[in-house]
Chains A and B, each alone.
Chain A
Amino acid sequence: MASGEEDGAVEEKETNNKKKRTKSAIAIAWLTVYNIAMTAGWLVLAVAMIRFYLQKGTHRGLYRSIARTLKFFQTFALLEVGHCAIGIVRTSVIVTGVQVCSRIFMVWFIASSIRQVQNQESVILFLVVWTVTEITRYSFYTFNLLNHLPYFIKWARYNMFIVMYPLGVIGELMTIYAALPYVRRSGMYSLRLPNTYNVSFDYYYFLIIVMLSYIPLFPQLYFHMLRQRRRVLHGEVIVEKDE
């Protein structure tokens, strides 16, 4: 679910080239810089992960080695919510917000704060998925803004998610599931009764609810993206026939 894709930005950039020219030059410049920076950031992460694995031969300790860079770039993505809010990117603020928040939740409140799960294979799974997805996505936006979109990037953007998305969800769910016993034992992020303000919060049950929420949300997002893909690729076919 966190390996999500925003489609509004794509639609806007693909169909409204004329509108883009009238859009503020500063906005375009900023977005180009932002997307290049993010592409670079995730490339750095990918390289760091590969190097670690080649040098150490194991995935143990891999998360710890890239944790700071991951936190930085994933948290930086909050800016995308701002882009939608001020209108320079045509996507729903809520959709972007939910996607970025779920990523930040995984990074800060699961992987980084629960040390015992950091060496799980499922962590590597979602890290790989996220890295591939984000490099594709940000380079897609970058090339779009520069008006030079290589077909293979467009292809990657609209086809890789079919495999990446379910894999990412599996990685995330397995990681949360692995974290449950440690959360229960330590009572972390939880508030117990009695207390002056008569409220309680159980992080363990909260995580279970989070996992259950994937059930209604994942299919909706997945089929939405499938529909987007059909629309974009279907539209493309028609154009080719005319030519």
Chain B
Amino acid sequence: MKQVEILDTETKEQLCFLDKVEPHSTISDIKGLFHKSYPRRYPARQALTLHPQGNLLKDDEVLQNLPGGTTAKLYFRDLGPQLGWTMVFLSEYVGPLLIYLLFYFRVPYIYTPKYTFTSSPHPVVSLACACHSFHYIKRLVETIFVHRFSHGTLPLRTMLRNCVYYWGFSAWLAYYINHPLYTPPSYGERQIKYALFIFMLCEAGNFSIHYSLNSLLGEGPKCRRFPHPSKNPFTWLFFFVSCPNYTYEVGVWVSFSIMTQCVPVALFTLLGFVQMTIWAKGKHKAYTREFKDYPALRMPILPFIP
């Protein structure tokens, strides 16, 4: 039996002393015990380290593998309120969905009073609303029914910052698309039709990838495999790219920009592309490091571009 002493990282005072802890208990068990003494500090917001400036101990670390004699000394830091991934994604996606609709229906105080509750004479405006709403409804459906999230959480602050970004941007682009002085695309019907076609293809592709990634995780976190193309033609992008879901996502927003011919949408696309490229490169690096047989042809997000 071991004992565990938990100290505050900053004040170094003892917060908790755990008696009679099984040597094969994990950090996750210890966090649970700590939670009993401090009901408000649920495990997700506990950060335990071996030294005040040390690295965070992972939840599956076993007590007896940690240095120290019969009494293990751990340092605690509060990570602040945490939110589960489902909660995070729901709030990030419901916002843009509803906010765009406010602009589409031209609720009072957005545009000049004579345009309140009027509708645009351009069909592309209604189409854009349908596409934008479809995109976020699909994301909500995926969050609820498809994605399987790890135990990971996100700090409240980060989620608020993300919400401000998504909600703010969707308000900004919705303002222009639904504006009474909106100018439809220069190449008219043809531009809109082609853009819509690409949009739908990329949405289908994005969904296929999420579905395929989900079935990969379904076998449990212990099974480490990287995604492969399947019978679904949309997944054939896996031959060329590590993160085709991001590729398709960029495609969705590029086509939406072309469909609406609106600079704020293009700007949102650009920023999203930059962010997703960073994520894709990280994922790609993790894959290549972990799997020796990782296909050499695959690039992070764009085919043939490293």
Contact = CB atoms under 8 A, between A and B. Distances in A.
A214 to B, nearest CB: 20
A40 to B, nearest CB: 41
A199 B181 CA distance: 10
Nearest to A201: B263
A39 B183 CA distance: 53
A194, A199, A200 — most chain B CB neighbours (10 Å): A199
B179 A197 contact: no
Contacts of A194: 181-183
24 contacts: A193-B176, A193-B179, A193-B181, A193-B182, A194-B181, A194-B182, A194-B183, A196-B183, A196-B261, A197-B261, A197-B262, A197-B263, A198-B176, A198-B177, A198-B179, A198-B182, A198-B183, A198-B261, A198-B263, A198-B264, A199-B176, A199-B262, A199-B264, A200-B176
A199 B263 CA distance: 6
Interface residues of B, number: 12
A193 B181 CA distance: 6
A22 interface: no
Contacts of B182: 193-194, 198
Nearest to A192: B181
Q: Which 8 A-B pairs have the closest CB atoms?
A: A199-B263, A194-B181, A193-B181, A198-B262, A197-B263, A198-B176, A194-B183, A196-B183
Interface string A180-199: 00000000000001111111
B215 interface: no
Chain A contact residues: helix, strand, loop or mixed: loop
Contacts of A193: 176, 179, 181-182
B157 to A, nearest CB: 15
B14 interface: no
A193 B176 CA distance: 9
Given A195-B183, A198-B263, 9 more contacts: A193-B179, A194-B183, A197-B261, A197-B262, A198-B260, A198-B261, A198-B262, A199-B176, A199-B264
A193 B263 CA distance: 12
Interface string A136-154: 0000000000000000000
Interface in B237-266: 260-264
Contacts, number: 29
B70 interface: no
A194 B261 CA distance: 12
Contacts of A195: 183
Interface of A: 193-200
Contacts of B176: 193, 198-200
A195 B262 CA distance: 10
A197 to B, nearest CB: 5
Contacts of B262: 197-199
B133 to A, nearest CB: 19
Nearest to B186: A196
A233 B261 CA distance: 58
Contacts of B177: 198
Nearest to B183: A194
B271 to A, nearest CB: 15
Nearest to A195: B183
Contacts of A196: 183, 186, 261
B246 to A, nearest CB: 26
A35 to B, nearest CB: 35
Contacts of B261: 196-198
Contacts of B263: 197-199
Contacts of A198: 176-177, 179, 182-183, 260-264
Nearest to A199: B263
A154 B261 CA distance: 56
Interface-centre pick from A193, A195, A197, A198 (highest chain B CB count, 10 A): A198
A195 B176 CA distance: 11
Nearest to B260: A198
A202 to B, nearest CB: 13
A194 B182 CA distance: 6
B55 to A, nearest CB: 24
Contacts of B181: 193-194
Contacts of B186: 196
B172 to A, nearest CB: 10
Interface string B165-182: 000000000001101011
A198 B183 CA distance: 6
Interface in B159-203: 176-177, 179, 181-183, 186
Contacts of A199: 176, 262-264
